[in-house]
Amino acid sequence: MVDIHAYILLFFIWLISTIIVKALARNRTTICLPPSPLKLPLIGHLHLLSNKPHESLHKLSNKYGPLFHLFLGSIPCVVASSPEIVKQFLKNNEITFSNRPQITNIDYLTYHQDFSFAPYGPYWKFMKKLCISKLLGGQTLHLLLPIRRDEIKHLIKVISTYAAVGKEVNIRGEITTMTNNVITRMLMSKGCSENEDKAEKVRKMIHEMTKLSGKFNLSDTFWFCKKWDLQGFGKKLKGVRDKFDEIMESIIEEHQETTRKRQKMKDGNQEVAKDLLEILLDISQDNTSEVRLTRENIKAFVLDLFSGGTDTSAIAMEWALAELINHPNIMEKAAQEIDNVTGKTRLVQESDISQLPYLQAIVKEILRLHSPAPMILRESSEDCTIEGYHIPAKTRLFVNVWAMNRDPKNWENPLEFRPERFMNETKILDVRGQNNFHYLPFGSGRRGCPGISLALQILHTSLAAIIQCFEWKVSGEGNCGKVDMEQGTGVTVPRANPLVCVPVARLNPFPDKYLHN
């Protein structure tokens, strides 16, 4: 969300520009650009965006159509909000739109080595292949299954302590802690096993860095501000990255020492579950690797995984539980499905998910109605033509997934929470966005999210465990047992207010082995 200082600076830029520059008529005689609202000098169309940009762009698409053109400061942009047009960008012209724009704050914090925003080229291709084959591939996720299982059991244990005394629990806080712990242990369990304090420092530093990376920076929007740090980000960015760098260097050194000791003791025939940091360090020492990873590459990947794998999963689960509380019939149907598979003597496991189609439909419906990533951001690498319109190189593309998910042309009763829409075999859409561009919860194609499998494993299993073990009471007067569904601000569409409810134990007695292991 833009802070007050940015607003003040934008106001003065607008004031000065309107005094010295007359509004220029849009010139469409030489090239044919998509439709566009009237822009103001220098600031372009920034004044049309709110702190919920996906909603602002949706309103503009209702007026100017599913493909329109904007200038955010001096940055040319196009906005696509229909499956047919999105397909032309992300499939028919996928290579042209396989880059992401460079964001100054993110670029600095990630040592100019960020995988998520890296240009489409040798380094990005190598890291994507590495994620799929080793870091986030099926074999690694299987070997690290005990970590996810342990953290979900711990989450259930914590919520059970609240249920035992009839106390409210902050769902967002507890789920965020769980997802943070899963990512931390998957990344660096070996290196941090003897020093949890450092792991906690890493989590706090990454939270601070994530907040800074999302700040509105004038340098990204106005070409004449490129060399000026008008908002004082430079000192803040350097300070937080230096602290993160110091902690990570210490963790890497300890991790390497722990790995050396373990290698001397391990059984050569035993399959060892390496954590992700160990895998990355092994690759950095491999002289035959097509890309030699540096320490900066490794630290940037740690930032990527934390920023992409913690808050988004927690936001999706919080929305899911809120919808289920407001639709008790759906909650009960899901609980009954789980009971039929697991009985009432054990906690649901990842291996059970394939037998829980209604639970899978609930998750798909949540990712449609409350997608944590409401927009897909790309940038064109060369000129192209879409729908007869000229799209110049270096144009930013915003795919408004949030708007498409609410379009009655794409979905029947789109604002209704109805998991049954995904139960029909003809409606079981691929969450990977390969063929159907109505539904893109994880992006599409080459630049689609490489952590889909991990995200779905965490979402399905943790939500199933919460449904299996608890019913929920909404506290407060005047709510009629309903949870408010107000949407918060920002680019990840969180709830406006944390979900705070009283859990009621559903399984009684709860299996001791899952509470005390």
Domain residue extents for the chain:
29-265+272-505
The rounded distance, in Å, linking the Cα atoms of 318 and 291 is 39
Q: How many CA atoms does the CB half-sphere of 411 hold within 13 Å?
A: 26
pLDDT, residue 233, reads 79
pLDDT cut 90: percent of the chain above it: 47
Give phi and psi for 376, each to the nearest 5. Answer: -100, 130
Give phi and psi for 231, each to the nearest 5. Answer: -100, 5
pLDDT at 5 over 80: no
**Mean pLDDT, rounded, for 276-302:** 89
pLDDT at 23 over 70: no
> In sequence order, which residues have a C-beta less than 8 Å from that of residue 193 and are 6 or more positions away?
258
The rounded distance, in Å, linking the Cα atoms of 449 and 81 is 20
Which of 175-189, 287-301, 432-446 bottoms out in mean pLDDT, i.e. has the lowest?
432-446
Q: Which amino acid is at 196?
A: E
> What is the pLDDT confidence band of residue 304, given thresholds at 50, 70 and 90?
confident
Average pLDDT over the chain, rounded to whole? 85
pLDDT tens, residue by residue, 239-269? 888 888 888 888 888 888 877 777 666 655 5
Residue 264: other Cβ atoms inside 10 A: 7
The rounded distance, in Å, linking the Cα atoms of 140 and 274 is 8
With tokens 């980000």, the residue in question is 233
Q: Is the alpha carbon torsion for 101, 42, 105, 227 positive or negative?
A: positive
Peptide bond into 34 cis (omega under 30): no
Q: Which has more confidence, 178 or 306? A: 178
Decide the pairing of beta strands 396-400 and 75-80: parallel
The rounded distance, in Å, linking the Cα atoms of 157 and 17 is 59
pLDDT tens, residue by residue, 448-493? 888 889 999 999 999 999 999 999 998 765 567 789 999 987 777 8
pLDDT tens, residue by residue, 189-228? 754 444 566 667 777 777 777 777 777 777 878 777 777 7
> What is the pLDDT confidence band of residue 238, given thresholds at 50, 70 and 90?
confident
pLDDT at 383 over 60: yes
The token pair at 491 is 């680019």
Which of 14-18, 30-34, 152-156, 401-405 bottoms out in mean pLDDT, i.e. has the lowest?
14-18
pLDDT, residue 252, reads 87
Q: Which residues pair with 75 in a beta bridge?
A: 72
pLDDT, residue 405, reads 94
The rounded distance, in Å, linking the Cα atoms of 178 and 162 is 16
Contact, 318 vs 150, CB < 8 A?
A: no
The rounded distance, in Å, linking the Cα atoms of 367 and 350 is 19
3-state secondary structure of 76: strand
Contact, 412 vs 421, CB < 8 A?
A: yes
The rounded distance, in Å, linking the Cα atoms of 495 and 479 is 17
The token pair at 124 is 């990005």
**Mean pLDDT, rounded, for 12-26:** 55
The rounded distance, in Å, linking the Cα atoms of 436 and 404 is 12
Give phi and psi for 384, each to the nearest 5. Answer: -155, 175
The domain 29-265+272-505 having CATH identifier 1.10.630.10: the answer here is yes
77 is in an annotated binding site: no
The rounded distance, in Å, linking the Cα atoms of 110 and 117 is 10
pLDDT, residue 217, reads 78
pLDDT, residue 430, reads 62
pLDDT tens, residue by residue, 331-370? 999 999 999 999 988 999 999 999 999 999 999 999 999 9
**Mean pLDDT, rounded, for 177-190:** 84
The rounded distance, in Å, linking the Cα atoms of 64 and 85 is 14
The rounded distance, in Å, linking the Cα atoms of 515 and 512 is 5
> In sequence order, which residues have a C-beta less than 8 Å from that of residue 411 and are 6 or more positions away?
368, 405, 421, 438
pLDDT, residue 517, reads 45
Contact, 352 vs 358, CB < 8 A?
A: no
Contact, 59 vs 23, CB < 8 A?
A: no
The token pair at 366 is 């949540």
